[in-house]
């Protein structure tokens, strides 16, 4: 692609940090992992952060550590990355899909209560595209029904809601650091929480079920190899040192798109800002006017060498979710997902590239009218 959909922002500082680990004698579960965890915990003002091999692993460990399993239900949006539902199914629990708000594309709190049953154990609140979900309403519903709230903040590090950082508001939060995220560890994630016992269990589960009091060949419970290497954490630590700089770069790219596309009446732009919070720009997703051929426009973008993506294809319509295919009450999810296009978006996307992306999009929209 001439203009890719995403690209990591790696500087000499990150390269030097990784090389320093390679020159050391410790490549796993060492001091750099601890420093990275401490930096993430401090950034969201929580006492505990546990680095893991991916955001998916973090979500799975949250479900496992809460003893959610056979016959239990977890409320979750279908308009999200599939990992959020897969993590529930790994423990043989059932994801219950709830519709989204048509503006923010986050789970609609008004739809949550009607989905609660005696089997409901938790609500998985996804901060879609880095826009914080309506956590006050979600927490109020959860408290009234005795439910746990897990934040899927995999797309939202640095986002804020009513003065609190995304990931720090529910019982636990999960961040992910795949190369298309705001910061990257290559592959990796972090679970954050205020609950000391919960954090201790997450640490054990990520390391084959070993607690800190166990020796290397003692395993107190069934666990997993969800560890992350010192190499990954060195990259992540160096990126965390630049987090605010990176978030501001991405805000600048989003603002440039907002200004350039504001006169294109057949393209619906994402919310540019929040009254009581901060967006952490993960991707820049626009929606086409109803009736336009989204797939044809995407093909035209690709033919021009411009990366784009279908963010998101509803989970309940995925082949692996045939059992959920006829889920009811997801009309907004289905309607909006058919209109979305993620445009190229990364830290160092320049103004000339933005102009080319927007110009090509406008040409294709006009042809589709």
> Which architecture does CATH list for 243-368?
Alpha-Beta Complex (3.90)
Residue 369 has pLDDT above 90, yes or no: no
- Report d(CA 267, CA 280) in Å as an integer: 22
Q: Beta-strand (E) ranges in 243-321? A: 267-268, 277-278, 284-288
% of the chain at pLDDT higher than 90 = 99
> Which architecture does CATH list for 12-240?
3-Layer(aba) Sandwich (3.40)
Residue ranges covered by each domain of the chain? 12-240, 243-368
C-beta separation of 155 from 270 below 8 A: no
Q: Which residue has the tokens 């797939």?
A: 295
Active site amino acids: 181
**Sequence-separated (6 or more) residues with CB below 8 Å from residue 298:** 308, 310, 341
Closest CA to 152 of 59, 75, 240: 59
% of the chain at pLDDT higher than 70 = 100
Quote the distance between the C-alpha of residue 238 and its chain's center: 20
**What is the DSSP code string of 287-306?**
EEPTTS-HHHHHHHHHHTTB
Residue 194 has pLDDT above 90, yes or no: yes
Query: Strand 160-161 vs strand 164-165: parallel, antiparallel, or unpaired?
Result: antiparallel
Which whole number is the average pLDDT over 216-230?
97
C-beta separation of 170 from 153 below 8 A: no
- Report d(CA 200, CA 222) in Å as an integer: 14
Same fold, 12-240 and 243-368: no
C-beta separation of 285 from 128 below 8 A: no
Residue 185 has pLDDT above 90, yes or no: yes
Tell me the pLDDT tens digit for each residue of 236-254. 999 999 999 999 999 999 9
Tokens representing residue 2 in the block: 């001439």
Query: Strand 148-152 vs strand 172-176: parallel, antiparallel, or unpaired?
Result: parallel
C-beta separation of 339 from 368 below 8 A: no
Tell me the pLDDT tens digit for each residue of 106-141. 999 999 999 999 999 999 999 999 999 999 999 999
C-beta separation of 95 from 123 below 8 A: no
């Amino acid at each position: 692609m001439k203009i890719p959909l995403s690209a990591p922002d790696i500087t000499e500082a990150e390269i030097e940090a990784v090389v320093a680990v390679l020159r050391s004698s410790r490549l796993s579960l060492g001091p750099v992992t601890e420093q990275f965890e401490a930096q993430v915990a401090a950034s969201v003002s929580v006492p505990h952060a546990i680095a893991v091999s991916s955001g998916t692993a973090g979500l799975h460990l949250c479900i496992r550590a809460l003893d959610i399993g056979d016959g239990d239900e977890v409320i979750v949006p279908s308009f999200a990355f599939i990992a959020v539902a897969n993590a529930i199914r790994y423990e043989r629990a059932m994801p219950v899909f709830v519709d989204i708000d048509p503006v923010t594309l986050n789970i609609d709190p008004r739809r949550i209560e009607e989905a609660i049953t005696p089997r409901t154990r938790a609500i998985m609140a996804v901060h879609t595209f880095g826009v914080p979900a309506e956590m006050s309403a979600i927490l109020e519903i959860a408290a009234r029904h005795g439910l746990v709230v897990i934040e899927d903040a995999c797309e939202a590090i640095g986002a804020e809601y009513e003065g609190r950082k995304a990931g720090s508001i529910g019982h636990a939060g999960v961040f992910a650091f795949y190369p298309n995220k705001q910061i990257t560890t290559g592959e990796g994630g972090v679970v954050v929480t205020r609950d000391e016992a919960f954090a201790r269990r997450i640490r054990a589960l990520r390391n084959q079920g070993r607690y800190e009091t166990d020796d290397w060949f003692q395993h107190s419970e069934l666990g997993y190899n969800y560890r992350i290497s010192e190499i990954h954490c060195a990259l992540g630590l160096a990126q965390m040192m630049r987090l605010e700089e990176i978030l501001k770069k991405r805000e600048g790219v989003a603002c440039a798109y907002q200004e350039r596309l504001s006169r294109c009446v057949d393209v619906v732009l994402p919310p540019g800002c929040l009254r009581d919070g901060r967006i952490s720009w993960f991707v820049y997703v626009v929606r086409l006017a109803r009736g336009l051929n989204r797939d044809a426009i995407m093909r035209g973008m690709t033919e021009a060498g411009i990366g784009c993506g279908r963010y998101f294809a509803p989970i309940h319509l995925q082949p692996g979710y045939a059992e959920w295919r006829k889920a009811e009450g997801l009309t907004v999810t289905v309607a909006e997902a058919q209109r979305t296009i993620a445009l190229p978006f990364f830290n160092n996307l320049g103004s000339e590239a933005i102009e080319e992306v927007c110009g090509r999009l406008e040409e294709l929209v006009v042809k589709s009218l």
